[in-house]
Amino acid sequence: MPQSRPLSLITGASAGIGAAFARELAARGHDLVLTARRTERLEALAEELRGKHHCQVTVLPADLADPAAPQQLQQALAERKLAVDWLINNAGYGLPGTFEANAWEDHAAFIQVLMTAPTELAWRVLPGMRERGYGRIVNVASLAGHVPGTAGHTLYGASKAYMIKFSQSLALENRHLGVHVCALCPGFTWSEFHDVTGTRELMNQMPRFMWQTAEDVVREGCDAAERGDIVRVTGRVNRFIKSLVKLMPDRMGLWLSARESRRYRHAAPQ
């Protein structure tokens, strides 16, 4: 069983799905460790949650593009004698444009944040979870990891497919020890994600029924992690899309992907 108040470490907690996880888990009685690059936002969120839910919130600013960040976070937790019960690997962003249009340094940072850092953080907190016989790891993946790749945002779907497969293997290795691992796969979610990537105007062309709120995504994710679901695609529309794509021949799926990329992927070929 977890500590009297489970402790959740949330990456990318300053906005969007990460901030929604912080609010939801605080409401469920968790203490929190919040990490992201934007210290002021983290401190404001921490103050809000302490006042509303009377929980302990520790702010540890970090840039996961720095390869040293996961180990530094682990050291900071150890110094404070904090044991992580829930790890929410949420930090992420999009890198618009085609593969050759971006510098390798940008691709390398992207891979570090979306693949290497969450994998290392799981490796660092897992031994404690196994020893205590309780743990929850939620890897925020995406519907993009289930559907064919797109022209533009070249590494995004690939990174999310990796997180899904990684979660599946990690879940099978640890489920007999009380550790649940879940790949959470939202589709289009209302947040500042598309503002940061400069694709908000394109995204606004998508039908409203395609979108979910971050709060809805997070509630599904928390419930799925508690149940022991290994993969959770959020929202009926997204689950329908995933099922439909699985039934399609690869050639048809890629044709549809190429057609739709022109609508919502920045710098995709016309």
pLDDT digits (tens, 9 = 90+) for 141-179: 999 999 998 888 899 999 999 999 999 999 999 999 999
Has 156 been annotated as catalytic?
yes
Over 60: is that where the pLDDT of 20 sits? yes
Query: Residue 35 contacts by C-beta under 8 Å, 6 or more apart in sequence?
Result: 9, 10, 11, 12, 13, 42, 59, 60, 61, 62, 73, 91
195: burial class by Cβ within 10 Å (0-12, 13-18, 19+)?
exposed
Query: Residue 75 contacts by C-beta under 8 Å, 6 or more apart in sequence?
Result: none
For 245, other C-beta atoms within 10 Å of its C-beta total 17
Architecture of domain 7-264 in CATH?
3-Layer(aba) Sandwich (3.40)
pLDDT digits (tens, 9 = 90+) for 27-79: 999 999 999 999 999 999 999 999 999 999 999 999 999 999 999 999 999 99
What is the pLDDT of the chain when averaged over all its residues?
Answer: 90
The full DSSP string for 141-193 is --GGGTS---SSSTTHHHHHHHHHHHHHHHHHHHGGGTEEEEEEE--EEESSH
pLDDT > 70 in the chain, percent = 87
Active-site pick, 134, 156, 162, 264: 156
Over 60: is that where the pLDDT of 26 sits? yes
Least confident of 4-8, 29-33, 178-182: 4-8
Dist. CA 147–CA 259, nearest whole Å: 14
Q: Higher pLDDT residue, 4 or 65?
A: 65
Residue ranges of the domains in the chain?
Answer: 7-264
State the amino acid at position 14 in one-letter form: S
The full DSSP string for 156-168 is HHHHHHHHHHHHH
Query: Using 50, 70 and 90 to split pLDDT, how confident is the model at 221?
Result: very high
Q: Residue 226 is encoded by which pair of tokens?
A: 């508690």
